[in-house]
Structures are given as C-alpha cells and as structure tokens.
Structure 1
Amino acid sequence: MTRLFLAALALLVALPVALPAAAEEIGSVGYRFKWLGPNDKIVVEAFDDPDLAGITCYLARARTGGLKGMVGLAEDPPYASISCHQVGPVDAEKAEKLKSPHEVFSERASLIFKTTQVVRFYDPKRRALIYLTYTDRVIEGSPQNSISVVPVGLR
C-alpha cells in the first residue's frame, strides 16, 4: 500500500512537468462587433518555455465572440502569430539535450476537435530554438503558421 501511495505521489509531482505550458493573458483588442455576446477579439498571451528557463513566447490569436463564444461553443479562426525571446539566462547545454520536436503549448480552439499548438525545435547547426505555432483539427487542420527563432549560446 505504501509503494502504491508513493508511486501515485511521484506521478502527481511529475505531472506538471510533463504538461505543456499554460498561457497568461496580457491583453486583447476587439476587431469585430457582435450584437449579442462579446466581440470577436485578438488576444495576446505569454507563456514561458516549460523545459528551458529564460525563454518567453508571446502568442497573438483570434478568439470568436458572440453567443457561441460566450458559452464556449464557437470555433476560433486558425490565425496566430508568435514571438519568442530570451528574457533571462539560458542553459545552452540543456537546450541541446531537449527533445525535438516537442510540444510546449496547447490550447483548444473549439469545443472538442481543434487545438492551437506551439512546437519547439532545436537546430544544432545554428544553435537556435525554433517555435512553430499552428492550429490542427482531427480531420482537417490549417497550414497557416508562424515561427519565431531564439539563438542559444552564441560564441
């Protein structure tokens, strides 16, 4: 029984490390008026790379308003832009050992089948982290995407 409890406790401690980052909303602007419910808007969010301290990404994406948006049934457009920056010291050796590609952010863009994701790649030749954002859907995703590059450990 004690082993089972310790295993469950270890899983709970490790779980937050294994999950993609959560975004913090910085602000938003309305771009389309809706008679009922909130307006359509562009939201700017920030999240820190969950595996590498010193990197913050800013994500701007469209959110659908109206009655469906208000109750969480709307499907958000697949448009997003990303800009990632070094905001503190980055461990270059750790960056080289990171899994590539690796999902660092994911959030739903519709009730069940659509998500906006950020995937991190590492380019060892150029010593750079590349962050790609895109929206996918179970049946048909969108090729619209945006990337941001952060150089690591320049000599």
Structure 2
Amino acid sequence: MRGFLYRALAVLLAILVLIGLFFWLVMPHGGARHQIGAVSTNFRWFGPNDKVVVERFDDPKIPNISCYAASAQTGGIAGGVGLASDPSEFSLNCIAHGPVNLPADLPRQEQIGAISASLIFKHFILTRILDDKKDAVIYVLTSTKVLKGSPANAVSAVAVQAQPGA
C-alpha cells in the first residue's frame, strides 16, 4: 500500500511539473523585465511579508518606451515557496524616455510581457495596442483569472510623434 501512495504522489508531482512547464512555455516572455523594488505591506511571522512589487517592462519592439507595473504579492509560507495565488490588484504607468519611432511592421496588437500571479492558473498579461488615429501606443495589463465576469485591468498610453508623410 505504501508503494502505491509513493507512486501516486510521484505521478501527481510529475503532472503538476508538466502543467507548470506548459504554462511557462506558452506565456509571453517578450520584453525585458526588471524588478525595480518592493514595499512591504503586511508583516508575516513565518515566510516573507506581503508586498507590492514594482517591475519595469521595456517594450521589445519600440525603443524608449518602458512600462512600470506594481502588483501585490502574497507572502507567508505559501508565498515563500511560490504556491500562493497573488490578488488581482495592480497598476500600470508607461513612459517615453526618448524619441519614439514605430517600426513599419509593428502588429496592431501584441502581448509583450507577463507576470506570474500563481503557480499555474493566474498571470497578468501586458498587451500593446496601437491607436493610429490619435498617434498613441496603449498598454493594457489584464489578469487571466476572470473576476465576477470581467478581468481586472489597468491601462496607460504613450503619445507618439506623427511620422513624416503619414
């Protein structure tokens, strides 16, 4: 009986690892992502504290645009080993820190980054959308976990100089 339990646990662990690997492979890892800092929001006796983490995403196809996302991370023992599901609470601000030139072959809409908010089921996805009529680049951060019929989201826009001859 003991051997059966060990085999069952090994199979379950292998399945979880394969599912995690699958989601890691299909999630967009586009733009450069850098953790800028974190602010502790709740003390935990065991494991790391809850915190708000600030990360920078550099747009991989549009030089001089960076987006800053702040998201809540659950601490404690489960959070310390990566098993906690983080709340869908986040904000987004994008800036141009130099001249912005749009590549000619830039897709109208594209996922450019992601933040893992749980081991498998929840991620925050950063998507770029072009607004040609108003010469702007829009960035939307959404949660893949739907809450009450609608995903949590944040939006930011960056103005683009009109291209000559456009």
TM superposition score normalised by structure 1: 0.80
One of 71, 75, 78 as aligned partner of 1:68:
78
Aligned to 1:129: 137
SS at match of 2:133: coil
One of 59, 63, 68 as aligned partner of 1:53:
63
Aligned to 2:114: 106
- Tell me the matched-pair count: 134
Aligned to 2:125: 117
Superposition deviation, residue 154 in structure 1 = 4.4
Q: Which runs of 4+ in 1 moved over 6 A?
A: none
Q: Which moved more, 1:75-84 or 1:99-108?
A: 99-108
Identity %: 43
Superposition deviation, residue 143 in structure 1 = 2.3
Contact 2:29 2:114 in 1 (8 A): no
SS at match of 1:60: strand
Contact 1:21 1:106 in 2 (8 A): no
Aligned to 1:32: 42
Alignment partners' CA distance in 2, 1:19 and 1:72: 19
Contact 1:44 1:60 in 2 (8 A): yes
Q: Where do 1:134-153 residues align within 5 Å?
A: 134-137=142-145, 140=146, 143-153=151-161
Which runs of 5 or more residues in structure 1 are unaligned?
Answer: 1-17
RMSD (Å) for aligned C-alpha atoms: 1.7
Which runs of 5 or more residues in structure 2 are unaligned?
Answer: 1-27
SS at match of 1:69: helix
Alignment partners' CA distance in 1, 2:35 and 2:139: 19
Superposition deviation, residue 32 in structure 1 = 1.2
SS at match of 1:67: helix
Superposition deviation, residue 22 in structure 1 = 3.8
